[in-house]
Amino acid sequence: MKKIVVLAAAALLVAAGCSKKAANVLTVGATPEPHAAILNLIVDDLADAGVTLKVVEFTDYVTPNEAVENGQIDANYFQHIPYLESFNEERGYHLVNAAGIHIEPLALYSRKYADAADIPDGSTIAIPNDPTNEGRALLLLQAEGYIVLDPAAGLTAVPSDIVENAHGFAFTEIEAASLPRVLDDVDAAVINGNYALNAGLTALEDGLLVESETSPYVNVLAVKDGRQDDERIQKLIAALKSQKVKNYITKRYPKGEVVAVF
């Protein structure tokens, strides 16, 4: 009987150890560049803080939010605040901004023209098809004087909100991840920074029009509401806002393709 008790106690200790280990695992979803790259940079730092960071890569903007809302992952790092707020409103989700980390300037790219002024009237311009990034793309074109939007459209403007289009541009709405792949088929495309980087494009070097660094579209670490104060999340935020990450961003993206906001 004594032997059975000892074995049972040992089993409980093993189970408790496994449970504690599992509780210290933090799974974070991210798009590959620069988000996953930044997260992978701090895996060892989280380990030193007692947290096992697992990075799961996604190539779209929908699945990582679904995974956080459903509890499949603990957090994600890929989106800006207007997109998060729009997603919550559209889906009835409960995602919150746990920390702002960086900005990726949006830019207009072209394989056919070396200057935005060279793009002829009637050209086709591809833009992201999700509500906030579509509006962001159109606001970039408006800021540079190419179109005028209905002021009531706000951050979620769509092509039908264009009230002046002096150049007669036609707009093709494409999934953000696919924009680099259609660049050869259109006259120009407005591409999000992370997808541009994956395609070997940099905003300040290749962009014909580039969003200002004062853009409100800060990329954030997102969690489900109620998880903001989780000790593991706070340790992750501390690591993301470290001098190590800031130095990495400055060195990795010297042309301002990614800009730290901390």
**Which residues have a Cβ under 8 Å from the Cβ of 165 and sit 6 or more positions away?**
147, 148
Dihedral angle over CA of 151, 153, 157, 158, nearest 10:
-100
Sign of the torsion formed by the C-alpha atoms of 124, 217, 75 and 89: negative
The backbone region for 71, taken as left when phi is positive above 0, alpha when psi lies in -120 to 50, beta otherwise, is left
Q: What is the pLDDT of residue 122?
A: 98
What is the residue-level pLDDT of the chain in tens, covering all 262 positions? Answer: 433 333 333 443 344 444 445 679 999 999 999 999 999 999 999 999 999 999 999 999 999 999 999 999 999 999 999 899 999 999 999 999 999 999 988 999 999 999 999 999 999 999 999 988 999 999 999 999 999 999 999 988 999 999 999 999 999 999 999 999 999 999 999 999 889 988 999 888 999 999 876 677 899 999 999 999 999 999 999 999 999 999 999 999 988 889 899 9
What radius of gyration do the chain's Cα atoms show?
22
Tokens 């009531």 correspond to what residue? Answer: 152
At 221 the pLDDT is 98
pLDDT recorded at residue 17: 47
203: nearest Cα among 117, 118, 109: 109
Q: Smallest Cα–Cα separation from 109: which of 207, 192, 181?
A: 207
